[in-house]
Structure 1
Amino acid sequence: MLKGHQSWVFENKPKIISSATVVGPFEGKGPLAEDFDIIHGDLYIGQDSWEKAEKTLIEESAKLAIEHAGLTKEDMSFHFGGDLMNQIISSSFAARTLSIPYLGLFGACSTSMEGLALAAFVTNYGGSKYVLAGTCSHNASVEKQFRYPTEYGSQKPPTAQYTVTGAGTVVVAPSGEGPSITSATIGRVIDMGISDPFNMGAAMAPAAVDTIEAHFRDLQIEPSYYDLIVTGDLSKVGYAIANDLFNKHNFPIHQTEYKDCGMMIYDYNTQNVQAGASGCACSAVVTYGHLLKRMRKRELNRILVVATGALLSPLSYQQKETIPCIAHAISLENQDA
């Protein structure tokens, strides 16, 4: 059901019945390491290129999520996926391996919640039985495509972010054990004129704030409804800007705990990540690993996950275009709490 201007409320409350997360070695040294299913010891993951390694990440997380659900890939109605590589090749080539009816998505780092929103929508209205939704990113492949190759050894400014190597996938079903997907707010594209690919947090923060405020306006609830609101990958710079915007707009974000996935996955004291984390996998592995684990333990019962994305490409940057950004919000709830 459409609620307000840009939100869906899912009356049938589709369930996340399983999840799986796979990460690289650097993520395995961070504070959330115990919440990931697989931690690889090297960035190549037995492949001969970083791009092939990224494809392997999403294949592994997809297969593991299906296994955790006690199902087979033949049980899946659809697969929603996307990533940051040109023409979303990591997800599309993995879909070739999985051989599940596939819809490829590009929402940059917002892809995790974009895919989950569409999976919930299709499931809510009887369009599927089981849906696979996932995304991935790889530090070396993303840095090579969007900024400078790792081998180049360039110095990065403090506003830069560190792309997460990992993949996160969930299985969505009409019923079963697991958190319910109760609503989704689809974001608008916001462009505040920032063109620096080393300052993604500042570029994405206004889009995150716009979607969060729209969510509460559409659903006519207060932030206190949630135990936690978490943005995708604003990291330190964007998180600070978002808080400033909430204050400027008199939005009561203080009613609940507000965090950012980009500030949660790494240890700022021991890992050199500049402003924090980014990448499609950032919100995916933090949400599908750490946050869902906390929901299963009933430490959290209602959370709002707002994945943020910068919709640029190497071509748009070369043409000196500014960075359009977007954010999509998903409400997850333990219905028995």
Structure 2
Amino acid sequence: MSLKKIGERTFKLNNPPSILGNYSIVGPKEGDGPLKDYFDEILEDDLWGEESFEKAETKIQEQTIRAAIENANLSLSDIDLLLSGDLLNQIVASGYSARGLSIPFIGLYGACSTMTESLAVGAMFIDGGFGDKIVCATSSHFSSAERQFRFPLEYASQRKFSAQWTVTGSGATILSAAGEGPFITYVTPGKIVDPGIKDASNMGAAMAPAAIDTLISHFKDTGFEPSDYDLIITGDLGIIGKSIVMDMMKEEGYDLEGIFTDCGAEIFDPYKQDTHAGGSGCGCSAVVFNGYILKEMKKGRFKRVLLAATGALHSPLITQQGESIPSISHAVTIDINRI
């Protein structure tokens, strides 16, 4: 019998882990966007001295993790477990990053939902007494993801207006059994939701129903209302997906006006930066969370935040075979105080 499960699928943590440190690194395009002042490090170029974009992404993730550990006044030997993932085949950016860190490693794949997946799993590990200090991280890179999921960069394909721009960046969060917060207090794992979308250039429409499903389950399980949060933010739905969530949640009786936004809608200026429907990639919610959200929480602007990142669990092969795009959304509550 679960002593921590409330409602259908939410877990209330009895010993909420504290966020002890964090760090974010972004590429030059992200560093030219509306949230540029929140990121810890902005690269001058996407290769960062490496021979390939894949090697650059590995370097970005590894350096982000190292910096987050240092930010928490810890050393590599203090870390019990690393939970990380990325968008590349066999999550190689995370695997090769972990190779350089020599930390016990569990690789995760939730596509663009990987940041909240790692936070959820890490928080439950600590709450269950299986570790004291855990790193939760992820990364993505526009150039490595673009040529894996869509077309070679040299092909210069025309992007649809519903398409999103994969974020180049990495975010890492250090969770600890002890600390002064902010704290992860609730976890709501997602279910697969498939609205039948087959267009890989319209990810906002494909993933929005999964976000809606998780948000409604979270509110029903916890008894919270949207107004109980200072900020409700999804990951990587972009402008189109954000609009769908707003409209459909209102139809379900949840008014998110003035409380809700999306990481992919915030990270770029779509008009000045030509990013069409906004940002995407698991690095998107990672850098927005570890940059904008946590820094605003520490300033006292946000006292309770619901982060619900979404992921499209598809591949080019399966969509080329005519399959639709199943999606998922995992949610975590972050409180400035332990409850």
Same fold (TM over 0.5): yes
In the TM superposition, what whole-angstrom CA distance separates every residue of 1:201-230 from its partner, at most 9, and x where no partner exists?
Answer: 000000000000000111111111100100
The amino acid that maps onto 1:224 is: S
TM-score of the superposition, structure 1-length normalised?
Answer: 0.98
Structure 2 distance, partners of 1:86, 1:268, is 29
Structure 2 match to 1:38:
41
1:292 aligns with 2:294: yes
Structure 1 match to 2:218:
215
Aligned equivalent of 2:117, options 98, 114, 117? 114
1:168 aligns with 2:175: no
In the TM superposition, what whole-angstrom CA distance separates every residue of 1:297-328 from its partner, at most 9, and x where no partner exists?
Answer: 00111000000100001221221111000000
State the identity as a percent: 46
Structure 2 match to 1:257:
259
- C-alpha displacement of 1:336: 7.2
The amino acid that maps onto 2:112 is: C
Equivalences for residues 204-283 of structure 1 within 5 A? 204-254=207-257, 257-283=259-285
Structure 1 distance, partners of 2:25, 2:132, is 25
Structure 2 distance, partners of 1:232, 1:175, is 28
263-272 vs 198-207, greater mean Cα deviation: 263-272
1:183 aligns with 2:186: yes
Structure 2 distance, partners of 1:73, 1:206, is 39
Equivalences for residues 115-154 of structure 1 within 5 A? 115-154=118-157
Q: Which runs of 4+ in 1 moved over 3 A?
A: none
The amino acid that maps onto 2:90 is: Q
Aligned equivalent of 1:315, options 314, 317, 328? 317
1:193 aligns with 2:203: no
Structure 2 distance, partners of 1:219, 1:283, is 23
Question: Which runs of 5 or more residues in structure 2 are unaligned?
Answer: none
1:305 aligns with 2:304: no
Structure 2 distance, partners of 1:300, 1:241, is 24
Structure 2 distance, partners of 1:336, 1:93, is 35
In the TM superposition, what whole-angstrom CA distance separates every residue of 1:158-217 from its partner, at most 9, and x where no partner exists?
Answer: 100000000000100011133010001000000011011100000000000000000011
The amino acid that maps onto 2:130 is: G
TM-score of the superposition, structure 2-length normalised?
Answer: 0.97
Equivalent pairs, count? 336
Residues 18 and 178, structure 1, Cα contact 8 Å, conserved in 2: no
SS in 2 for 1:151: helix
Equivalences for residues 3-152 of structure 1 within 5 A? 3-152=6-155
The amino acid that maps onto 2:288 is: V
In the TM superposition, what whole-angstrom CA distance separates every residue of 1:232-251 from its partner, at most 9, and x where no partner exists?
Answer: 01111111111121122222
